[in-house]
Structures are given as structure tokens and as C-alpha cells.
Structure 1
Amino acid sequence: MAETPLISTPMRAFDTLSRPAFEMPAHACDAHMHAFGPEALYPHVEHPHYTLPDGKLGPYLQLMNALQLERFVIVQPSFYGTDNRCLIDTLNAAGPIARGVVMIEENTDAATLDRYHRAGVRAVRLDLFARSALPTEEIQQYITRMARLCTSLGWHVQFYAPGWVVRNLIPFLADVQSDFVIDHMGYMLEEDGLTAADFERLLSLLKDGNCWLKLSAPYRIAKHRGYDAVAPMAQKIIDAAPHRVIWGSDWPHIPDSTRDTGELLNLLGAWTEDPVVRQMILSDNPARLFDY
């Protein structure tokens, strides 16, 4: 039986957003947001995890203006599966300030991939939540095939994965020869049995491999513990390899669009007071990774 979808809340009023508490660098980039559109134009997957959020481009551009963001990366949500039409249409509407991360089938034809690249796509998102029941070896084979495809296009792969899958993949990922990004700080939840030792192994992968980590969705890690519980993790990630860390808002914060995106941005200011490091995370690193 399909699960009952979460109900997406209305969008927070933009005049209530916290403003940046630190000086924003030029070309600051939100490296993880999701775009949605009318259901009549963009049908969702058969059993979505949530109802259609209020996540259109117009409101997001207002948010960018309020938070002094100049660039953004659209990450394909599970809501649309491998149907990337909404993402591509949004990229085309936004122009050169935007990049995209698609979800694709392995047999996607070359003409479609070329069209995606010209629109601004620079990565493929691998939904390892959907494959978490597979043997680790099969997941590794899938990653190898997709990483090879991405390398041929000049793209990278991004992992949307539960922390215990990330933990099991760390020895394999240490040998991956192309860039890859792990969403949501590795998603290593205590509730899923992840330990401090597991997180230290992830930091070693960040230091010594081709891994990048995304400072995104701290509320998915904090759960009911509050953001202070996430700060030590974020600070260790930044200290380990600030040149391979990016920041993302996870807008529109599914299913709770009442969240204060400005507050989430200001967490970065609390995690590092160094303006040079903040410029790396917000501007320099995403520019390099997403070919701006």
C-alpha cells in the first residue's frame, strides 16, 4: 500500500525572512534547491512522498534577491522521478545564473543528454534511497556505470542516500576517480545507528578522495534536537576540506515551506567566521564544480 503523502505547507512570506548576518560574497550560489510547476504541465510520479509544493521560479527569485544570492542549482526532486521537463524549462527561463542536476535512466539517449547540457545541466542525481535494499555490490556497479557516463559528459554524480548506505560505500568511494557530491552532509543520523567513527571515515574520504559534501538541510539531520546539534558536524566538514564543500538551502523545504531560508543561510556564518572560507563555500567552489 502506498504511503500517505506529506502535505506541503504554503510558502513563507518573503518579508519575514532573516537577512544575511554576514557580508555575502559576489556570485554566491545556492547549490541545492528544487523547482516545481503546475501539475497540468508537469505530472508527478505515481506515488509521491508529498503533495505539490509552492516552489515556482518567480518566488525563488524573490528569495534570492532578499538573501543576496546570485546563482542557484536546481536539483531534480523525487516528485518528478526521471521526468526532467520542469527542471529544464526552469533552467531555460532562468538563463546563465542557473545550473541543473537531473535524474535519468541509464539508457537516456545522447541527444537528450546534449540538450540537457546546453540548458545548464552539470550533474546526475542518484537516488540511493530508492536502491537502499539492493546489495552493496549492485549499488557500486550502478554508481560505476553512472560515473562513467557523467565523466564522458564533463558532469559529476550526486548521491541522495541514507547515511548507512554512505557508510557501506566509503571503501568503494575512496577509489572513485571522478568528482562526486554527497547531499545533506552525508545524512549520517544517530537514529539510523551511525556513529562518530562512521562520520570520521566520511571526513577522511572528503580529505583524501574526490568527495564533495553539501551543507544542506540541517533540519533533516537535527530532527528534534535543534541546529546546535548539527554545528559540530558542519564545522568538522568545513575544517576537513573547505575547498570541497558547498552550501544549499534545500528550498522549498519540503514539506514545511514556512522555514526561514535566511536563518539556514546564517547558520553558515555561525559554522565559520572566516570570510575567505565562506567565499569558497558560497562562490568559488560551486563555480568550479558547476562550470560557471
Structure 2
Amino acid sequence: MFSLRRCANARTRPALFKLPYFQTMAETPLISTPMRDFETLSRPSFTMPPLACDAHMHVFGPLDKYRHVEHPHYTLPDGKLAYYLQLMGRLQLKRFVIVQPSFYGTDNRCMIDALHVAGSIARGVVMIDEGTNAATLDSYHASGVRAVRLDLFARSGLPTAEIQQYITRMARLCASLGWHVQFYAPGWVVRNLIPFLADVQTDFVIDHMGYMLEEDGLTPADFERLLSLLKDGQCWLKLSAPYRIAKHRGYEAVAPMAEAIVQAAPHKVIWGSDWPHIPDSTRDTGELLNLLGAWTDDPAVRKMILSDNPARLFDY
């Protein structure tokens, strides 16, 4: 089992994530690096299954066409759709899912435009305000949207009961549309929500393997409870952004967690590149794909994670 050491300041860590903290951080945004040449990306080290899907990437466009939120956490990344389509060819990916980034908030125009260009090989995950009208939601569905992303980092300072009420309302909306819910949340929020999430009847996906960082005081017991939720509830987990979990420890530190997720419920696991790897677009997306080959050597399981599961979840 992987090691999660409880930090001495773990009890005070949640206070860092209240809304004023993010507003302060946004005043000094991270600087996005130039894009890596796609021809330098590692090629797949295993046989890619048919219709392999990257279930978590982002698309960005010019500032004079798509306005960012008032206080973005990072500068505009070089995440153009045209580049990503070239990357797909090198990595033998056939489908992809565009996840709305916090950079644009609930203005989904850049993503919707990209979906129209990409056509049937792409799906979308929007961020929306409560009260979004039915006509807008229907237009999103027609464009290929199949989920709503809930930014629980931004709401992490709220009482757990209020977060639960918000999830309940959004899950009800998604169920009415035949969509699912995706959670972008710190691991300690995920931990606090696990008893509640066990009763949620709408499919939901937790980004970045649950984001259970030892730096935030998460323990092996917390992770075991997450695995139980994965096995028994409507929960799905996304094998994405291992660098956000590994921090400076290297990808080998993430392997036990990823392998445990795959072993627990391979039929409810998807893989995502998190491209363009904000703020470091020099990362090797092919190397990230090849980690999956290290986490499982079973071609049938890789086919589930890369092809079958996203096809089912995103209505391909």
C-alpha cells in the first residue's frame, strides 16, 4: 500500500482553501510555459485498443475571442485544438473529452466551438451556473456535452452540508439530461463527502484519482474508503494528472494508488491526459499515457479503461 503521512498542520489545512485564499492566489497567476513539440512526445509502449479515448483534456483560444475569468489562476496556455489533434495521431488516440477549465469559468464558448470543429470524436464537460435555462442545456447536449463539472475547490470553504445540497441539485439536473457529474475537489473534501456520496444515485466521476494528497493529511484509511465507494456506489475515478499527486516525489509514488484503483473496479475507471498540463506544457503526454501500461499489463483492462468505459460514460 502507498504511504500517506499525516502532516502536522493537517487540521488547519482546509482553511487555506476558502474563497479568499483563491482570490489572493489569483492575483499572482502561474505562468504557462510554451507548448512542447508534439514530435518529441513518447509513443505508446503498448498496443493501443481501438477507439482509445483521452477522457480529460482542455482547449484554449485567443484572448480577443474568449474572455477569461476576472482573476485566472494561470496565464493563457498554448492549448490549441489543432495542436491536440496532431498529438492524437502520435499517441493513437481516437476520441477525447474536453473538460471546461476554470480559466473560462461558466463561459463554455471556447469548448463548444471546439466540439463543433471536432465532431463526433469529441465530448464535453461544462461548468454552469445554477438556473441555466433548458434551451442552453439542450444546445450543449446537441454539441456533445455529457457532464457538468463541479469546482469544489472554489466551494471548499463552505459547510459540508451546503456542498452536499449543491451536489444534490446538480446531480438531479444531470440525471434529467442523461448526463453525469464530475468533481474537481481537494482530497479532504472528497473524504468528508464519502458517506454522502454513497447514496448519490447519479453517476459521478472524481478527477485526479480523488486528489488524496498526503500533504493535506489524507491517510491510507481514507483511500480505502474511496475504493469502497468506487466498488459499491455510482462513483467513477479518473486516472489523470499523476504529477499533481506525486508533486516532487516522482511517478513511482503514485503507482500503488493507481494500481489499487484499477484492481478495485476496472469497469469504472477512465484515463485522462490533463493536457495541456497547466502550467507546464513541456510535459510528455506520451509518458503519461505509458504510465497506464505500467499500472496494468492486462490488455483487456487497458481496453476497458481507454475504450469501453469512456464510450459508455460519455455516450459515444
* TM-score normalised according to structure 2 size: 0.92
Pairs within 5 Å for 1:19-168: 19-168=43-192
Question: Aligned residue for 1:17?
Answer: 41
Deviations 1:10-69 (A, max 9, x none): 000111100000000000000000000000000000000000000011000000000000
- Which residue of the partner structure matches residue 221 of structure 2? 197
Equivalents in 2 of 1:45, 1:157: separation in Å? 22
After superposition, the C-alpha distances for 1:103-147 in whole angstroms (9 at most, x for unaligned) are 000110000000000000000000000000000000000000000
CA distance in 2, matches of 1:13, 1:110: 41
For 1:181, what is the secondary structure of its paired residue?
A: strand
Distance in structure 2 (CA, Å) of the matches to 1:240 and 1:82: 34
Q: Which amino acid aligns with 1:104?
A: I
Matched, 1:233 2:252: no
| 1:197-232 deviation line (CA, Å, top 9, x unaligned) | 000000000000000000000000000000000000
Check if 1:173 corresponds to 2:182.
Answer: no
Q: Distance in 1 between the 2:39 and 2:116 partners?
A: 28
What's the counterpart of residue 235 of structure 2?
Answer: 211
Cα offsets for 1:88-114 (capped at 9, x unmatched): 000000000000000000110000000
Tell me the secondary structure at the aligned position of residue 47 of structure 1: coil
Runs of 5+ consecutive residues of structure 1 not aligned to the other structure: none
Shift of 1:5: 0.4
Letter in 2 for 1:90: A
C-alpha distance in 2 between matches for 1:264 and 1:79: 23
Q: Secondary structure at the match of 1:27?
A: coil
C-alpha RMSD over aligned residues: 0.5
| Structure 1 counterpart SS, 2:270 | strand
Cα deviation per residue 1:54-88 (whole Å; 9 max; x = unaligned)? 00110000000000000000000000000000000
Listed one character per residue, the Cα deviations across residues 215-267 of structure 1 (whole Å, up to 9, x for unaligned) are: 00000000000000000000000000000000000000000000000000000
Percentage identity across paired residues of the two chains: 85
Letter in 2 for 1:160: Y
Match of 1:265 among 278, 289, 292: 289
1:178 Cα deviation after fit: 1.2
From 198, 207, 213, the counterpart of 1:183? 207
Structure 2: segments with no counterpart, 5+ residues: 1-23
Shift of residue 3, structure 1, vs aligned partner: 2.8
**Residue of structure 2 equivalent to 1:248:** 272
Does 2:312 align with 1:288? yes
The amino acid of 1:190's aligned partner reads E
CA distance in 1, matches of 2:104, 2:59: 10
For 2:152 and 2:293, how far apart are their aligned partners in 1?
31
Q: Number of residues paired by the alignment?
A: 292
AA aligned to 2:243 is: Y
Moved over 4 A (4+): none
**Residue identity matched to 1:155:** W
How many angstroms apart in 2 are the aligned matches of 1:201 and 1:14?
39
| Aligned-partner Cα distance in 2 for 1:147–1:41 | 32
Instruction: Report the Cα distance in structure 2 between the residues aligned to 1:38 and 1:177, rounded to whole angstroms.
Output: 39
